[in-house]
Chains A and B, each alone.
Chain A
């Protein structure tokens, strides 16, 4: 069964520093997609970055980059130059194609706090 594991319930980082949020996944499918979402206290899930299993390069989107290590089944999110507005819950998710569905399987999340 597909599974996402986020082992860091909470992380703290100083403003302007970089931080890495860990994500490992488990799947037997050769094709899969990995997503990171940010959820501020307002509750809305905001898409950050996507990595496909066949992508040769690590994905980057502005201050966000994904450290994709396929052999280790890890897809860690790196946030550079942290800002106070980055304080939020961060969820790693994997797309699962089963029975015609394209559902996402989420981890439990990591709460990031950026200190001034």
Chain B
């Protein structure tokens, strides 16, 4: 079956522009996660959805970052007024949420470069 897909794969934005990153999770996966991976670092958690409910947004670095999953499937991560420090790979992951062992399946990521 299809895995997690993300679009666009690459995005170049001028400082101050708004960007929107899309994630299509695996069909039927209840949980959806966004992570930010800076160059040479491990991924860092941004936010978590269970169906359409955003249960944890503790990792969002500022109020310029906003995520939504209105119908419990596709999710969009929006960054307003982008800054150079927002340059990173943004990874989306989904899981079934069955029991303790919930493997997270990751998408290929969107590489954002802010000039």
Contact = CB atoms under 8 A, between A and B. Distances in A.
B51 to A, nearest CB: 12
B101 A102 contact: no
Nearest to B31: A102
Nearest to A43: B109
A68 interface: no
A80 to B, nearest CB: 22
B105 A100 contact: no
B31 A43 contact: no
**Chain A: interface residue count, which band?**
20 to 34
Contacts of A108: 40-42
Interface string A26-63: 00000101010100001111110010100000000000
A33 B99 CA distance: 12
Nearest to A107: B42
Interface in B92-113: 93, 95, 97, 100-109, 111
Given A99-B56, A101-B48, A101-B56, A45 B43 contact: yes
A105 to B, nearest CB: 7
Contact of A104 (B45, B55, B89, B108): B45
A103 interface: yes
Contacts of B45: 101, 103-105
Q: Interface residues of B toward A: which range?
A: 20 to 34
A94 to B, nearest CB: 11
Contact of B44 (A42, A46, A106): A106
Interface string B21-53: 000000000010101000011111100101000
Contacts of A31: 100
Contact of B42 (A91, A98, A99, A103): A91
Interface in B58-115: 58-59, 89, 91, 93, 95, 97, 100-109, 111
Nearest to A95: B102
A45 B103 contact: no
B56 A47 contact: no
Interface of A: 4, 31, 33, 35, 37, 42-47, 50, 52, 91, 93, 95, 98-109
